Amino acid sequence: MKTLTISLSQQQIARLQQAVASGSYASNSEVMRDALRLWEQRQELRELEINRLKRAFDDGMASGEARTVDADTLLAELKSERRG
């Protein structure tokens, strides 16, 4: 494994040391690896969400020409669809 030097705030260092002292983690490196795994998961979720939004946008663009509808008309259409 490669060694990497990072800078942390005093609060981050205290939390890291507390996690090790409490027995939640065996070492500082284990805390950092877990933090990186969580960051990677968050990045993957963000990418999935962006892709979902892009698909929704594309679907909306492909759904046909836009039309202007006032709130009352839209509500009436939705109620009509729900009934029948």
Contact 41, 29 (CB under 8 A): no
Q: Average pLDDT for residues 54-59, to the nearest whole number?
A: 96
Per-residue pLDDT reduced to its tens digit, 9-19: 999 999 999 99
How far is Cα 3 from Cα 6, in angstroms, rounded to an integer? 10
The pLDDT value recorded for residue 67 is 84
Question: What's the distance, Cα to Cα, between the start and end of the chain in Å?
Answer: 64
The residue type of 8 is L
Sequence spans of domains, the chain: 10-83
The residue type of 76 is A
How far is Cα 61 from Cα 50, in angstroms, rounded to an integer? 16
Residue 37's pLDDT band (boundaries 50, 70, 90)? very high
Q: Average pLDDT for residues 64-73, to the nearest whole number?
A: 89
Q: Average pLDDT for residues 45-67, to the nearest whole number?
A: 95
Question: Is the model's pLDDT at 1 over the cut of 90?
Answer: no
